[in-house]
Amino acid sequence: MPAETLEHWIDRLQAGGKYTFLRSEAVGGSGLSAEAVKKALQRLARRGRVAKVKDYFYVVVPLEYLRAGAPPASWFIHDLMAAMRLPYYVGLLTAAGIHGAAHQQPQEFQVVTDRPVRPLTAGRTRIRFLASKYAERVSTLDVKTPTGAMRVSTPEATAVDLVRFARAAGYLDHVAAVIAELSPALDAKRLVAAVRRVGDVPNAQRLGFILDRVHARHLADAVRAWIERHEPRPAPLRSGRPAMHAREDHRWHVLVNGELEVEA
C-alpha cells in the first residue's frame, strides 16, 4: 500500500491531539504490514513528517516545527519514558528554567531516570539522561504541556540536583548562579525535605555553602541544621580537585579548593 495510507493515519492521530506513536501502533492502526510501515516511516521521516526517536517510538512533526525537525521534547517526553518503561523527571537546568531560573538556557533537555541511558535526539533537540538511584523518591510536579503533562522536579529538588550533578549543570560557578535565580522560589522546609530524601551530606554541605554565598541565609540556616545532625566531615567544595592545602569553611565543613565565582 502507498505511504499516504500511513500518512492519513498519522493525520488522524494529530487531529485527535496525539503526537507520538509506537511502530506497532502504526501497524495495527493503518492495516499495513510491518514491512510496509517500516518503509513508509522511512519516507515520512525523510520528508520531516515524523521524527524517529527510538526504533519503536515516533513523534509527529507539525508544520510549525518542520525546520526544527521535531516539536520540543516537552511535547513527548512523558510518552517516551512510558514507552521505555522507565521512571523519570525533567530536572537540572531544564527544570530550573521551567521554575524561572533562565540563566543561560541549556542546549539540551535534561531528564533524570534510574539507570544509565544514552542521549537521544529528535530533530534539533538533544535529550540527555542522568542516572540516579533516587529517581523515584524525588518530589515532582506535573507541569502542563501542549500535549498533556510531564513530571518536573520541584524547585527544591532541582536545587539539590544541581549540586549533585554539577558537571552536567555547567560546574559549580554556573550552578551557584542558577541557584541564586532559583532561591526566591525555594521554601526552607521543602528544601530540607528534598535534602533529606537524598541524604547526601557532602553535597548538602556544598549546597549550604552556595546558599550563603548567594545571600539566601534563611535557606542556608535550614540546611545547616539538618547537616549538623549528621556529623559532617570536611568535604571539598569542588569534587575531583585536590584539597590538601585548602582552607576549611567551618560553618559548612567545606574545604574551599577553589573560590566560588557566581556568574552574573
pLDDT in tens, the chain (264 residues): 445 589 999 999 999 999 999 999 999 988 899 999 999 999 999 999 999 999 999 999 999 999 999 999 999 999 999 999 999 999 999 999 999 997 667 789 999 999 999 999 999 999 999 999 999 999 999 999 999 999 999 999 999 999 999 999 989 999 999 999 999 999 999 999 999 999 999 999 999 999 999 999 999 999 999 999 999 999 999 988 887 888 999 999 999 998 898 876
Rg (CA), the chain: 22
Instruction: Tell me the domain boundaries of the chain.
Output: 3-65, 73-256
| Inter-axis angle of helices 188-198 and 201-213, nearest 10 | 150
Cell readout for 158 is 532541582
Cell readout for 130 is 542522568
Instruction: State the pTM of this model.
Output: 0.92
Give the Cα separation of 122 and 248 in Å (integer): 46
Residue range 3-65, CATH number: 1.10.10.10
